[in-house]
Structure 1
Amino acid sequence: MRPMDTLFSGLAACRPSAAKRPLPRPALPLAALVLAAGLACQYEAPAAGDAAGAAVSAASSFASDAISAPELVDLTAAVGGTHPPKWSPDGSRITFVSGGDLGSVGTDDGAFEILTEDLSLSGLGSLGAPQPTWSPDGRWIAYTSDKGGAPDIWLWSAVEGDGMRASVDVQLTGLSARANGLAWSPDGSRIAFSGDRFGNMDIWTVSVPDGKVSRLTDDPLYEGYPSWTPDGSRLLYVRMDDRWVDHDVIEVDPDGKNPRTVVQDRGFFDYRAGRAFASAQVSPDGETVLFRSQSSGWLNFWVVPRDGSGEPRQIAASDYDQSDARWSPDGSWISYTENRDGVHSLRLVSADGTKSKVLVEPGVGAALRAEWSPDGSRISYTMETPTRPAELFVMDVESGESRLLHSTVAAGSAEKLHMPEKVSYPSSDGLTIPAYLHRPPDAEPGERFPGVMWIHGGPTSQFDDQFRRHQQVHFFAQRGYVVLMPNIRGSSGYGLEFEDLNNGCWGHCDLEDVLAGVDYLKTLPDVDPDRIAVTGTSYGGIMTMDAVAFAPGVFQAAIALSGYGDMTDFHTKVHELQHIKLLEYELGPYPENRDVYLNSSAILKAHEVTTPTFVIQGEGVAADWRLREDQPQASLDFARKLDQHYKIVRYKAYPGEGYYVYGRDNTIRKLHDMLDFFEEFLVTEIGGM
């Protein structure tokens, strides 16, 4: 038995009834909270026929109908990865990442099969995506994998011939260069991609199937996301400045010569190394370029004449963020999705911007990752809700009728989950904070439960209607916790102004929104105001550390997952360039703004913490081709600092993980470990008090 399992095993057996939660009591000093762990289990189990025994056995009644951790974790999306599924050139099937494999589903009969197992791509951070992509003739599927030792391009042969089908998979490149952003030339003779073989992300091409590579660019700035003109005579790519804020779309010959700037976009910080801006798409007639921009204050799509004869213009101007735009095969329409307070709808706009149409507008849910069929008659997309993972649908564009094509949701499992409420509340300065509220299902009138503030990562991210945002929250709501998921200032989805409101003041201005959320929870009749916790992962872990350090006494329990207590660590210990770019954008260049970094470092106030805190991380296993992090220090340093000051702290690093805990078995264990910690410090009664 592992040490943490030993720590928690005694408490699990004496958990009080979730249906009989303790009523409000006076706030307890920390010493009493610590003592509670020792006193709460010092009783003998009553006899089965005893009335007290009946009450204790009723403890499990609240959770008896709850979905189990394995059931919950096994609720997975039908389509994995971040990229839209791809239609085969003949329209007969759609391919996508399925688990860690390359999956395919027939577009007529919905028959599912695994084409090749184990795409195996890890360690790429923001660049990581297998990106399975069909060749124009339907002969090959190209994807990125590190199963050869480092990230390179592989081919799966879709037809017999040349001895290729017998081996199924063939490694095409051997650059060991983080190959990504794959784009087939229109004639299928080569693939353009970006890779960092010489220390910079440059544009390359590789010929198919002989694997001959050519380097087209050598700028020290990041260059990526190539795309071809329809006739294959020119290649476009995106170059970011050193801050990852400004983007230039550049056009070159297929050999990299005769570069020309097509359009310049400014003021769009691209945390994921260019993934948010992504590829500039050329219209089927070759005349117009479609790209994503934040220059209006919202993430909208813009078009510009490719020959430079006109100015960029918004194609479907909106005060909502847009994503996943695609030209229709005939170039007459553009499909895209729009995010309205977490609900993602699927829409069309004509190429000239004069006509528009809503294809899918859910009252609740997210229609995402749309892709046109080769003949333009159908669109595939994924649909999910806070209680149901993504499933693959196909719509007939003319009739507007959709049908479910592929799902991995087991019968009856998703039905065990309950839809959250959408709420909002005012922060200390009057700013309105949107949020999701999860309540225990089937609660009795007058029952009161512990409250939990659940903070998202990013901080430039958003709680929305996607299932993965809510998946683990269901575990706690079904076991007697009221969980508030706020989109605090700095979140995406509400415009650039809202997104930048926490620049320079991490852990202070945005903490005000968290504290206002606590005040909101305390107004709810089903929340015990003396039992409030805070938790979150990544920036949510940072904010959890900030909450206990900069607002001592507010929370009765805290669980910080994969957080960072010292912001200067991003320039000394944290091995991810994307994180460094993020902090330079939001907190300023380092070391010139060292005071700002220190002001946002919770570790410097560890001596003032009064909240029992559980610090969680992965043990730091890295991909074989990357340096191992040997117990990443950021979370461990914060836990050690708390321990140095004799604070109540638990710490656990889960084996076989990077810094974040994603594995199935570890996630199941983590959920129970978190629940045990909350039960110990939020639920367990203290004898005599």
Structure 2
Amino acid sequence: MSPVPPGSPAWISVRKVTLLTQVRLEEIEGRGPAIAHTNRMSSLLPAILLALLVVQGCVIPSARDHGGFIVDGEKANALLCRPEGKGPFPAVVYSHGRATDLQAGGLRGGPLCQKLATDGFLAFAPTRDFYSRAGRVNIPINLAELLQALDYVKALPDVDPSRVAVMGHSRGGLLTLMAGLKRKDLKALVITAPAEIGPYFSRAVASIASLNTPVLLLVAVDDDRGSLGAVNVLDDALRKHGKDVRTIRYEGGGHYLFISRTRVEWYWWDDLRTFLREKLR
């Protein structure tokens, strides 16, 4: 299959990749020596994932350049979905959650990347090393990677650097908040079901007074990972300091509502699209 031509959405198939990573997840959640095996495999995973996407003709022609995005001396795979038409486009950088999110959401933001491009946003989803950088001690490393990804996206010729937002889920939601506190050049933050990882979450909430970026908070009331409480705390802090915040609590879907592979479950999408169009216009 030939690569997607310029001007077409970068439709990315995640079915085969999901099956591949599912095996790795089952092994890492086991006991004993399987951890060492998955750590070895994780070093090959970015190249394998990109190869699958290229073979299926699902990556835009310049994907090899984007696949060379370097983080801490390691090649980090990434998804880039370009809208139809002529740029420069507003952009959304997506920060994923931890490894087990793969089981619910497929390839690290793939369906969401596609949907953002369909609605006119250039979407870039860098990937972290799930297995060796999943602990709370690595939050600063994850944040540095996200900030570097922002610089990278802002420099892309198809991107309007004055219209860039960050969106993140779970661990990625916390990282999105932290990035918003570090950067003053972002137009919007979208935080879905944020993880309350200590001490970073409490420190971020304590620094809310310095935030100058509009925030959209999304969470399901039946979230069983503590994200509803985190959203309530964050919402209170933002409103106390007079910040531009929009908080929406949905009645069903749980923690994985916002990364579901089933599009019919995305009943929250119109709220996201409305917010992004308003803030990135």
Which SS does the other structure have where 2:252 is aligned? coil
Across the aligned residues of Structure 1 and Structure 2, the Cα RMSD in angstroms comes to 4.1
1:597-676 equivalence runs, <5 A: 597-598=199-200, 601-620=203-222, 632-661=228-257, 667-676=265-274
Please, which of 41, 51, 72 is the counterpart of residue 363 of structure 1?
A: 51
1:336-355 equivalence runs, <5 A: 339-343=44-48
Does 2:169 align with 1:567?
no
CA distance in 1, matches of 2:175, 2:62: 23
Higher helix share: 2
Does 2:23 align with 1:425?
no
Q: Which residue in 1 is equivalent to 2:3? A: none
Contact 1:434 1:487 in 2 (8 A): yes
Deviations 1:63-86 (A, max 9, x none): xx979xxxx9xx9969x99978xx
Deviations 1:590-628 (A, max 9, x none): xxxxxxx15873211111111100000111167xxxxx9
Deviations 1:196-249 (A, max 9, x none): xxxxxxxxxxxxxxxxxxxxxxxxxxxxxxxxxxxxxxxxxxxxxxxxxxxxxx
CA distance in 1, matches of 2:152, 2:217: 26
Contact 1:654 1:661 in 2 (8 A): no
Does 2:13 align with 1:320?
no
CA distance in 2, matches of 1:559, 1:637: 16
CA distance in 2, matches of 1:671, 1:521: 23
Which SS does the other structure have where 1:607 is aligned? helix
User: 1:531 offset after TM fit, Å?
Assistant: 1.0
When normalised by structure 1's length, the TM-score is 0.33
Would the alpha carbon gap of residues 545 and 385 (structure 1) be closer, same or farther in structure 2, given more than 3 Å must change? farther
Specify the code of the residue in structure 1 equivalent to 2:241.
H
Which SS does the other structure have where 2:110 is aligned? helix
Q: Which residue in 1 is equivalent to 2:178? A: 546
Q: Which residue in 2 is equivalent to 1:678? A: 276
CA distance in 1, matches of 2:77, 2:223: 34
Please, which of 26, 29, 38 is the counterpart of residue 299 of structure 1?
A: 38
Does 2:167 align with 1:531?
no
Per chain length, whose mean CA-contact separation is higher, i.e. which structure has more relative contact order (CA < 8 Å, sep 6+)? 2
CA distance in 2, matches of 1:540, 1:598: 12
Please, which of 478, 483, 489 is the counterpart of residue 123 of structure 2?
A: 483
Segments of 4+ moved more than 3 angstroms: 75-78, 80-84, 319-322, 384-387, 417-420, 424-427, 430-433, 459-462, 466-469, 598-601, 662-667
CA distance in 2, matches of 1:470, 1:528: 22
Please, which of 89, 114, 118 is the counterpart of residue 474 of structure 1?
A: 114
Q: Which residue in 2 is equivalent to 1:492? A: 130
Contact 2:193 2:228 in 1 (8 A): no
Contact 2:88 2:158 in 1 (8 A): yes
Would the alpha carbon gap of residues 531 and 666 (structure 1) be closer, same or farther in structure 2, given more than 3 Å must change? same
Deviations 1:85-114 (A, max 9, x none): xxxxxxxxxxxxxxxxxxxxxxxxxxxxxx
CA distance in 1, matches of 2:70, 2:47: 19
User: 1:669 offset after TM fit, Å?
Assistant: 2.4
CA distance in 2, matches of 1:470, 1:451: 15
Specify the code of the residue in structure 1 equivalent to 2:169.
T
CA distance in 2, matches of 1:343, 1:457: 20
Q: Which residue in 1 is equivalent to 2:28? A: 276
Would the alpha carbon gap of residues 679 and 418 (structure 1) be closer, same or farther in structure 2, given more than 3 Å must change? same
Which SS does the other structure have where 1:363 is aligned? helix
Specify the code of the residue in structure 2 equivalent to 1:639.
D
User: 1:443 offset after TM fit, Å?
Assistant: 3.0
1:378-457 equivalence runs, <5 A: 421=63, 422-426=66-70, 431-432=73-74, 434-444=76-86, 447-457=87-97
Deviations 1:302-358 (A, max 9, x none): xxxxxxxxxxxxxxxxx5349xxxxxxxxxxxxxxxx442526xxxxxxxxxxxxxx
Specify the code of the residue in structure 2 equivalent to 1:670.
W
User: 1:275 offset after TM fit, Å?
Assistant: 5.7
CA distance in 2, matches of 1:423, 1:598: 30
Deviations 1:513-542 (A, max 9, x none): 211111111221111111111011111111
Would the alpha carbon gap of residues 292 and 521 (structure 1) be closer, same or farther in structure 2, given more than 3 Å must change? same
Contact 2:28 2:35 in 1 (8 A): no
Higher strand share: 1
Structure 1 unaligned blocks of 5 or more: 1-61, 85-271, 281-290, 301-318, 323-338, 345-361, 367-383, 388-416, 569-596, 623-627, 684-689
User: 1:279 offset after TM fit, Å?
Assistant: 7.0
Deviations 1:140-173 (A, max 9, x none): xxxxxxxxxxxxxxxxxxxxxxxxxxxxxxxxxx
Would the alpha carbon gap of residues 426 and 420 (structure 1) be closer, same or farther in structure 2, given more than 3 Å must change? closer
CA distance in 2, matches of 1:672, 1:661: 14
Deviations 1:248-287 (A, max 9, x none): xxxxxxxxxxxxxxxxxxxxxxxx8x8625378xxxxxxx
Specify the code of the residue in structure 1 equivalent to 2:38.
L
CA distance in 2, matches of 1:460, 1:554: 32
Which SS does the other structure have where 1:504 is aligned? helix
CA distance in 2, matches of 1:420, 1:673: 32
CA distance in 1, matches of 2:147, 2:235: 23
CA distance in 2, matches of 1:611, 1:520: 20
User: 1:452 offset after TM fit, Å?
Assistant: 1.5
Would the alpha carbon gap of residues 340 and 660 (structure 1) be closer, same or farther in structure 2, given more than 3 Å must change? closer
CA distance in 2, matches of 1:603, 1:448: 34
How many residue pairs were aligned? 265
1:71-470 equivalence runs, <5 A: 276-278=28-30, 292-294=34-36, 299=38, 319-321=40-42, 339-343=44-48, 363-365=51-53, 421=63, 422-426=66-70, 431-432=73-74, 434-444=76-86, 447-458=87-98, 467=107, 469-470=109-110
CA distance in 2, matches of 1:486, 1:521: 10
Which SS does the other structure have where 1:485 is aligned? strand
CA distance in 1, matches of 2:79, 2:111: 13
Would the alpha carbon gap of residues 531 and 76 (structure 1) be closer, same or farther in structure 2, given more than 3 Å must change? closer
CA distance in 2, matches of 1:677, 1:556: 11
Contact 1:435 1:484 in 2 (8 A): no
Contact 1:426 1:516 in 2 (8 A): no
Which SS does the other structure have where 2:68 is aligned? strand
Specify the code of the residue in structure 1 equivalent to 2:41.
Y
CA distance in 1, matches of 2:62, 2:178: 27
CA distance in 1, matches of 2:73, 2:202: 21
Specify the code of the residue in structure 2 equivalent to 1:603.
V
Contact 2:166 2:176 in 1 (8 A): yes
